[in-house]
Amino acid sequence: MISPTRLQKLAKEHGTPLFIVDHDALRKAYRTFRKHLPRIQVYYAVKANPDPAIVRTLFQEGASFDVASMPEFMIVHENIKRLPAKERQEWIWDKIIYANPTKPTETLEELNQYKPLVTFDNLEEIQKIKQHAPNAGLVLRLKVPNTGAMVELSSKFGASPGEAVDLILEADKAGLGVEGISFHVGSQTTNFENYVQALNLSANIFQEARERGYTKMNLLDIGGGFPAPYDDTVKPFEMLAKVINTELDRLFPKEIQILAEPGRFLAAVSGTSVAKVIGKAVRDGKTCYYINDGVYHTYSGVIFDHCKYPVKAFKKGPTSLCSVFGPTCDALDVVSMAENLPDLQRGDFVYSVNIGAYSHASATYFNGFPPAKVVHVNQ
């Protein structure tokens, strides 16, 4: 973690609001994932934070990538564009998955030249891929329990287990190759049983497919959901890894390639925000601070990601329960209604840690306020 002294120095040097990306923290998170889940090929979910410098660092670490749009694909492609054509194509096939189950026809037509691996979860998508991206390899997205996840995904994505093999056989009949199965247990999943259920469902689909004559699947993508250490209620990653490793070894032979799509787990710990107090008021007996960052900017995850980022002060002293508001002229711009902060003055800095995922990525220019300036350290 970047020291408080350095955070304040950076804020004075670059101004606020400031979004600081620590590449040492990024590398440490990646290596932790690889250490505890050695069988799994790591595909960074670019949507968590698509900053090209983050993608570059993970590329240098040997990561693969999960993309969900052509702009995300091209951010990754920038790192391999100078490779010889054959080597570049092999890298794309082995290291990128386009994990958005529903894709515009224009996107499929653009993707087709790269012969990518793409996900699907319905009959309409099979027909679309057949017509517009016949060179693609397919992975079936399976609907699995998302119980207890901070962000539930199963209502929007995933084929039901009962129709899974029918879809695989339909894709095969259309002349497309289904390489394997994917699932997602929901973002920031602290209920480890979700993974157990999803892995068992996937193993059953593999078995049913074999029994019905389809033997070409050789990969399982276990998606994302790996929880970032936002607070002490999040169980250690090592505990989840042990559960996953046990089920993988029990259910899937070594020749099945295992993929995962961590986004939050890698990006969250790399980001720290620093903002400045721009106003102060007392409302109904409670002190309210107004800062120059908010939910339309770095704290956008409060709205879009259902996440809370505790606001901390550099200043020491007795604390009281306070509210923290963003700078816009919208009552929705509430960072927190319950923060324990010391007596702050205009110009004092505050900060939030573990704010690297689904934050700056969804920042806007609403009300004329630009997103925070991004500064990279320890590159």
Residues involved in catalysis: 329
Instruction: Please name which of 74, 43, 69 lies closest in space to residue 182, comparing C-alpha atoms.
Output: 43
Cα–chain center distance at 323: 29
The number of CA neighbours under 13 Å toward the Cβ of 175 is 8
Write down the residue that tokens 């962000």 correspond to. Answer: 151
Residues paired with residue 149 on neighbouring β-strands, in sequence order: 189
C-alpha dist (Å) from residue 274 to 203, 234, 287, 312: 46, 24, 20, 10
Residue 23 phi/psi, 5-degree rounding, is -75, -20
Rg (CA), the chain: 22
Q: Tokens representing 244? A: 């996953």
Residues paired with residue 281 on neighbouring β-strands, in sequence order: 288
Measured from the Cβ of residue 4, the count of other Cβ atoms closer than 10 Å reads 14
Q: Tokens representing 70? A: 């052509």
Query: Residue 161: which H helix or E strand, with range?
Result: helix 161-173
Query: Residue 188: which H helix or E strand, with range?
Result: strand 187-189
Residues written for the chain: 379
